[in-house]
Structure 1
Amino acid sequence: MRPIIQLALDILEIDRGIQIAKEALEGGIDWIEAGTPLIKSEGMNAVRLLRNEFPESTLLADMKIADTGALEVEMAAKAGADIVMILGEADDSTIADAVQSAHKYGIRLMADLMNVGNPVARAKELENLGIDIINIHYGIDQQMTGKTPVDIVSKIAEVVSIPVAAAGGLDAENAAQVVKAGAGIIIIGGNIIRSDNVTEAASRIRESVDNLEVTTKATSSAHEQIITLFKEASTPNITDAMHRKGAMRNIHPIVSDVKMVGKAITVQTFEGDWAKTVEAIETAEKGDVIVIYNGSPDIAPWGGLASLSCINRGIAGVVIDGAVRDVDEIRNLKFPLFATNIVPNAGDPKGFGEINAEIRCGGQDVKPGDYIIGDDNGVVVVPKEKAYEIARRANEVRKTEMRLYDEIKRGSTLSEILKLKKWEKY
């Protein structure tokens, strides 16, 4: 049978959800899911409106039922759902109650295995309890740490005879992988609903799962993946992903239209002393960013000769909590450099300070190895321990904004799209 593509409408606004579903149906998706955020935002009215708008489509309500199984199944069924989602870790009594209610109203139950300790064993138990579909699901926060359902699908498909669904960061590449592993239902959220061309994104996934076009990517290190992801996101995307944190204060780009991404080599020095700042060029490796605290906006510890030296060594850029000079030379070199001020005078190489000590630059703590991203908006620091997760989250922010841009181009305003008045704090 042809794999089923289920569209997860994990957004807050029902009118946006309806429009996205229309565009996705044109691209070849099969089932429509009222996602948990949509149901929490709009209630059962979201299910009713989707049913009225798409009377011929299979409609799933992702209720994530954990208790009162019969009551919540009844709510969703009466609102028009064909399938209702229940948590696989719910108590057996809740599962049994939900199954009985589903039979009463002639609908099906899908069990979500998110956070289940032993998903293979639990999948078999759920089948025996009367569940109709097993969903192997890694939630959004888990996806941001790199987890996908690909590896576990085949194990569960071997032990159950009911349909298996898979969800969690799937795209045109890994969707085909989970189909080959045994999943018959592919649940796609962000990679369709956050696209600026929903129909095209859905079509790519449709073609991939129908033709089982599994693309084997060349393996890359975690660092390489992080660099690639940060290059795709802007510094505003990254600060949004960090809950509006991480941005350096009063640090501005000296060269426009350049992007800087790399791991920090830190320099702590004193007013006008440029010895350690220049010595750091030999300490840094290709692709690193030199981050300097100099403490003075009036005396430059950096200039054109040091910038040229960085280019020869493959240094990705420099950030200075302090001043810079020779900016005409630096701009001609198109070297990524960020500083607090521009002055003509330099200090002297006295040799005070340290390389690769924890410093404070632009009001942010910076440790050696932290990721530094700079563009025309400014500079952001991402702790190395959280870099992969933040890079993934930043790209989800970027995708969301791409979709919003598309909707605004159609004539809406940002306030209208996001229903800002509805969500104002009372």
Structure 2
Amino acid sequence: MRTIVQVALDLVETDRAIQIAKEAIEGGADWIEVGTPLIKSEGMESVRSFKKAFPDKIILADMKVADTGAIEVEIASKAGADVVMVLAGADDSTIIESVKAAKKYGVKIMADLISVANPISRAKELEKMGVDYINVHSGIDQQMVGKDPLDIISKIVDTVSIPVAAAGGLDAAGCARAVMAGASIVIVGGNIIRSADVCAAARMIRESVDSPSVVKVSKPSQDYEIRKLLLEVSTPNISDAMHRKGAMKGIRPMLKGTKMVGTAVTVQTFAGDWAKPVEAIDVAKEGDVIVIYNGSRDVAPWGGLATLSCLNKGICGVVIDGAVRDIDDISTMNLPVFASSYVPNAGEPKGFGEINAEIICGSQTVRPGDYIVGDDNGVVVIPKENAYEIARRAKEVEKTEKRLFEEIKRGATLSEIMKLKKWEKQ
């Protein structure tokens, strides 16, 4: 049987969601999921609107039913849903009532294993209670910290005889893995709905599930994935993902058009003392960023010779809370350098300070190993223990903005698309 591609419309505006659904169907999507945020924002009217717009498509209402199962299944079915999502972690009484109501109103039940502690044993119980589909799902917040639904899907498929869906950050490669693990349904949200070209994104997913064996699947290291994601996004994307935190103050790019992503080697020095900054070049490894607190905008601890030395080592860039000099030489070397100012004069190599201690740079705390990202907008610091999550969240911000750019290009304004007046705090 053909694998079902379900597009999850986790938006908050029905009109935008319907337009995106049309483009996704054109690209090969089969089922339409009215996402939980949309149902919470627009109510059952969103489900009615989708059934009216797509009368021949299966409409799934992601109600995430946790209580009053019969009532919620009834209202979803009467609004036009063909499948209703319940939480697998709900009490058995809620699941049983949901199943009874589904049979009464002619709809199906999909049980979502999100956050269930023992998903395999719970899947067995859900099948016995009469649910029609099992959804192996890592939620958006779980995905951001690296939880992957594909880690257990084959075990669930082997445990139950009803169809199994996979959901949670799936791209084309992830969908191929899910199909090869036995999934009958792949549920894709952000990688379709936040694409500038929704039709092409859906078509890529369609092709991957139809020919999963030809899709190249690899599992890179987490550091590789972090760096790859951070190279794809901007420092404003990262700042948004960090709730407007992490940006250094008063530090600007000395060269426009360069991008820097690396892990911090920190230097604490004093006005113009360039011994420890230069010695840090020998400590740093390929892929590192040297981050220096100098304490003066008038005396430089860094210049052209140090920059050239960094290039020899494969160092990704330099950040200086203070001054840099030899800007004419630095501008020809294409190494990202960020500083507070540039001046002619340097200090002396006295050797005060230390390397790889916690420092303050641009009013941000920086520790050895923290991820440093710089571009034309400035520099952000990402704590190393949260780097994977922030990189993933920044990528979601970037996807959302790409879609908004596309919709604005079609003639709308930003406030119209986001319905700002509707959502202003009352």
**TM-score, length-normalised on structure 2?**
0.98
Residue aligned with 2:32, SS: strand
Residue aligned with 2:291, SS: strand
Residue aligned with 1:368, SS: coil
Q: Is the 8 A contact 1:177 1:214 kept in 2?
A: no
* Alignment correspondent of 1:369: 369
In the alignment, the residues of structure 2 paired with residue 165 and residue 286 of structure 1 have an alpha-carbon distance, to the nearest angstrom, of: 42
Residue aligned with 2:26, SS: helix
Q: Give CA-to-partner distance per residue, 1:135-175, whole Å, 9 cap, x none.
A: 11000111112222222111111121111111011111111
Task: Work out the number of aligned pairs and report it.
Answer: 426
**1:274 corresponds to 2:274:** yes
In the alignment, the residues of structure 2 paired with residue 52 and residue 342 of structure 1 have an alpha-carbon distance, to the nearest angstrom, of: 63
* Alignment correspondent of 2:171: 171
Mapping 1:43-58, distance limit 5 Å: 43-58=43-58
* Alignment correspondent of 2:186: 186
In the alignment, the residues of structure 2 paired with residue 225 and residue 41 of structure 1 have an alpha-carbon distance, to the nearest angstrom, of: 34
* Alignment correspondent of 1:41: 41
* Matching residue's letter, 1:311: L
* Matching residue's letter, 2:320: I
State the shift of 1:217 in Å.
4.2
Mapping 1:270-419, distance limit 5 Å: 270-419=270-419
* Alignment correspondent of 1:150: 150
Residue aligned with 2:266, SS: strand
* Alignment correspondent of 1:129: 129
Q: Is the 8 A contact 2:173 2:217 kept in 1?
A: no
With 282-291 and 215-224 compared, the bigger mean Cα shift is at: 215-224
In the alignment, the residues of structure 2 paired with residue 210 and residue 216 of structure 1 have an alpha-carbon distance, to the nearest angstrom, of: 14
* Matching residue's letter, 1:310: C
With 413-422 and 365-374 compared, the bigger mean Cα shift is at: 413-422
Q: Is the 8 A contact 1:292 1:320 kept in 2?
A: yes
State the shift of 1:215 in Å.
3.2
Mapping 1:76-225, distance limit 5 Å: 76-225=76-225
State the shift of 1:219 in Å.
4.5
In the alignment, the residues of structure 2 paired with residue 353 and residue 180 of structure 1 have an alpha-carbon distance, to the nearest angstrom, of: 56
* Matching residue's letter, 1:246: G
* Alignment correspondent of 1:261: 261
In the alignment, the residues of structure 2 paired with residue 217 and residue 124 of structure 1 have an alpha-carbon distance, to the nearest angstrom, of: 30
State the shift of 1:102 in Å.
1.0
Q: Give CA-to-partner distance per residue, 1:284-342, whole Å, 9 cap, x none.
A: 11111000001111111111111111111111100000011110110011120000111
* Alignment correspondent of 2:61: 61
State the shift of 1:393 in Å.
1.1
* Matching residue's letter, 2:405: Y
With 189-198 and 145-154 compared, the bigger mean Cα shift is at: 145-154
Q: Give CA-to-partner distance per residue, 1:230-256, whole Å, 9 cap, x none.
A: 111111111111111100001000001
In the alignment, the residues of structure 2 paired with residue 165 and residue 333 of structure 1 have an alpha-carbon distance, to the nearest angstrom, of: 51
- Structure 1 residue ranges without an equivalent (≥5): none
In the alignment, the residues of structure 1 paired with residue 286 and residue 132 of structure 2 have an alpha-carbon distance, to the nearest angstrom, of: 54
Residue aligned with 1:421, SS: helix
**1:10 corresponds to 2:10:** yes
In the alignment, the residues of structure 2 paired with residue 175 and residue 220 of structure 1 have an alpha-carbon distance, to the nearest angstrom, of: 17
**TM-score, length-normalised on structure 1?**
0.98
* Matching residue's letter, 2:256: S
Residue aligned with 1:165, SS: strand
* Matching residue's letter, 1:60: L
Residue aligned with 1:224, SS: helix
Q: Give the percent of matched residue pairs that are identical in Structure 1 and Structure 2.
A: 67
Q: Is the 8 A contact 2:208 2:215 kept in 1?
A: no
Cα 1:205–1:219, aligned 2, differ >3 Å: closer, same or farther? closer
Cα 1:189–1:219, aligned 2, differ >3 Å: closer, same or farther? closer
In the alignment, the residues of structure 1 paired with residue 219 and residue 12 of structure 2 have an alpha-carbon distance, to the nearest angstrom, of: 36
* Matching residue's letter, 2:68: T
* Matching residue's letter, 1:200: A
State the shift of 1:66 in Å.
0.4
State the shift of 1:214 in Å.
4.8
Q: Is the 8 A contact 2:262 2:373 kept in 1?
A: yes
Residue aligned with 1:379, SS: strand
Residue aligned with 2:421, SS: coil
* Matching residue's letter, 1:360: I
Q: Is the 8 A contact 1:32 1:59 kept in 2?
A: yes
Q: CA RMSD in A?
A: 1.0
* Matching residue's letter, 1:318: V
Q: Give CA-to-partner distance per residue, 1:189-212, whole Å, 9 cap, x none.
A: 011001010001111111111122
* Alignment correspondent of 2:226: 226
State the shift of 1:229 in Å.
1.2
In the alignment, the residues of structure 2 paired with residue 216 and residue 111 of structure 1 have an alpha-carbon distance, to the nearest angstrom, of: 30
